[in-house]
Amino acid sequence: MQRGLKKYFINSSAIGATAFLVILVLGLFIFPSPRGEIITVPACTQPENDCRRNGLPYQDLSLRIDDRLNDLLGRMNNAEKIGQMALVEKDSLHSPADIAKYGLGALMSGGGNKPADPSLAGWQNMIGAFQTEAARTRWAIPILYGVDANHGHGNLPGATLFPHQIGIAAANDPKLAREVARAAAEEIVASGVSWVYSPDLDIAQDMRWGRVYETFGSNPERVTRLGTAYLQGLRSINDIRPLAVTAKHFLGNGATLWGSSISRNFSIDQGNTILSEDALRTHLEPFRIAVQAGADTVMVGLNKWNGEKVVFNNHLINGTLKSELGFNGFVVSDWYGVYEKENNKYNALVKAVNAGVDMVMLPYDYEMFSRDMQKAIANGDISQERLDEAARRILKVKFVIGLFDKEPMGSDSLIIPNSGHREIARRAVRQSLVVLKDDGVLPLSKKTRRLYVAGSAADNIGRQSGGWSVEWQGFDGNGVSGTSILQGIEAALSPSTHIEYDEHGMFPESAERADIGIAVVGERPYAEGWGDNPHPELSREDLEAIARLKKRCAQVVVIIISGRPLDIARPAQAWDAVIAAWLPGSEGAGVADVLFGDFPFSGSLPVVWNLDTH
Ligand code: BGC
């Protein structure tokens, strides 16, 4: 499943098409559009339609940012300011020329969405072409290009897939979080991307939520500390390339209630957070520190607070975030959040912008947005001051990160796959492992004579990477560069250990019993509400594979691949050791590093995971 594909198709049968056209033409005569024309953005009149080097003061790197900003804003008309407020999913662009026509401020790839040629060069070419379109406007304001890179640049084949945030949280080491984020940022900017929707600062409360693994866990202090370090790591790339970073999802998005989702398909994601304001403030802490650490943008969540969408909440966005916390960057809405389930799209937009949303994510219809914004400014539903403030905040971020000045591309020194980054990822995997149970088996001896390996996640980089990996909902199998956990185990041991692998644990009765059995089992990949699950547990197939394996081994170690705690309290009584490996990503070898004692187990639980059966 991929985000951002065009949703509407028209049946192309001749009769259908003719009938459609007749109705459309009649409709236009009888009901001329009540909404009026959209005022478009003046084109560049310089040679070759490229206004990037027009020599105006706002292009002058030697001037102060505020002077450059004032110069540019003073030149812009309302259509241009409105254009800056639009963030369009690349697949809903009707034509690349619309970038200049509407003066769009930003484009993005939704989860799993990549260029037709998804290689590094493919990404660079796609974003480079979009920037060329943006330069066809008279002020040639560069676009921000945004992606979700929740654990590395998941939409770029060959990019390093680091452990998901929940694993980084288990490692609980801010220095490591900073290093991981920096390495991820290097791969992100190499592709021309200039905006990342990370880190996730939600404080996860309900382990049934499909987004627990995107967070740094349930402990506000740990979320704040690691979130800040991660944010600093991402931002540190700005010394060489422009990259805006995002603190999300403001506010209370990790505390929605089961059964309250506005989506028919989900249970808790996109739900309602019912809390007093005092209690909600626990969720504010990571944002407070992230603002101090220089978050460029804040994404407002898809959740409600006490029955009202946060995206419409003036008190929280204008009041708490902008005035109280002193946030100077810009506020962006999440996906279709402004419009979702709103009958009156115009009123919804007015409410969100007046509540303080500066840039609107537009997965589907940016023309409606432009038209409605122009109408709202003309009739005073949104004030000129509000429009000016939104444009100022957005352009300020563009100046601060150096989008006007720095070369956005830069793969020159970056080879993908990058061995240095993979080493960091492998270290992160090692540090993230948490021992849930050990009856004296761990670490395993490298001198083990005979070893059996089983389980659905043992030889499957897709499973161990989880959602937001190659595709929005992740993938199954070993089709990317990296190491499965089985491959790591094989590489760690000498030829004197006899290793056999069978996913289902079917080792023949006739064969000798093994000293040790390792089962690697867990959740299938999922993302967002698609992972909401009333009872996260192991599948019957996994439990059967472990039971079969156990019969053929003296001792069994179970490694759990999951985005959250699973209910394994009962079956685990029969196992000798249990390890939570979270979603380690592409470098599965990090598991063997610790399993066989080259490095100590050092991770600790970022969420409650109880193995007690009472
Ligand atoms: C998610 C965000 C994400 C956005 C863009 C939304 O559905 O809630 O976390 O950044 O999509 O892909």
Give the pairing of strands 434-438 and 360-362. unpaired
Residue nearest to atom 6 of ligand 1 (CA): 335
Q: What is the mean pLDDT of residues 489-494?
A: 96
Q: What is the mean pLDDT of residues 146-165?
A: 96
Q: Is the pLDDT of residue 35 over 80?
A: no
| Mutate-to-test residue for ligand 1 from 114, 211, 335, highest number of ligand atoms within 8 A of CB | 335
Ligand 1 centroid to Cα of residue 162, in Å, is 19
Q: What is the mean pLDDT of residues 266-279?
A: 98
Which parts of 282-382 fold into alpha helices (H)? 285-292, 314, 345-355, 366-378
250 lines ligand 1 (CB under 6 A): no
**pLDDT, tens only, 406-417:** 876 655 557 778
pLDDT of res. 28? 43
User: Which has the closest alpha carbon to 198: 237, 172, 170?
Assistant: 237
Q: Cα angle vertex 130, ends 128, 131, to 5°?
A: 65
Say if residue 249 is preceded by a cis peptide, omega within 30 of 0.
Answer: yes
Residue type, 192: G
Query: Using CA atoms, how far apart are residues 103 and 80, in angstroms rounded to an integer?
Result: 6
**Structure-token match 């309302």, residue found:** 78
162 lines ligand 1 (CB under 6 A): no
With the C-alpha atoms ordered 344, 346, 348, 351, is the resulting torsion angle positive or negative?
negative
Query: 178 is written with which tokens?
Result: 């900073």
pLDDT of res. 189? 94
Expressed in angstroms, the distance from the first to the final Cα of the chain is 40
**pLDDT, tens only, 66-76:** 999 999 999 99
148 lines ligand 1 (CB under 6 A): yes
**pLDDT, tens only, 200-212:** 999 999 999 999 9
Does the active-site annotation cover 528? yes
Ligand 1 centroid to Cα of residue 339, in Å, is 15
Ligand 1 centroid to Cα of residue 335, in Å, is 6
Q: Is 432 exposed, middle or buried (0-12, 13-18, 19+ CB in 10 A)?
A: buried
Contact 424, 448 (CB under 8 A): no
Query: 46 is written with which tokens?
Result: 């310089």
| Selected catalytic residue, list 334, 358, 471, 515 | 334
- Mean pLDDT of the residues in the chain: 93
110 lines ligand 1 (CB under 6 A): yes
- pLDDT band of 15, cuts 50, 70, 90: very low
Does the active-site annotation cover 372? no
529 lines ligand 1 (CB under 6 A): no
* Global pTM value: 0.94
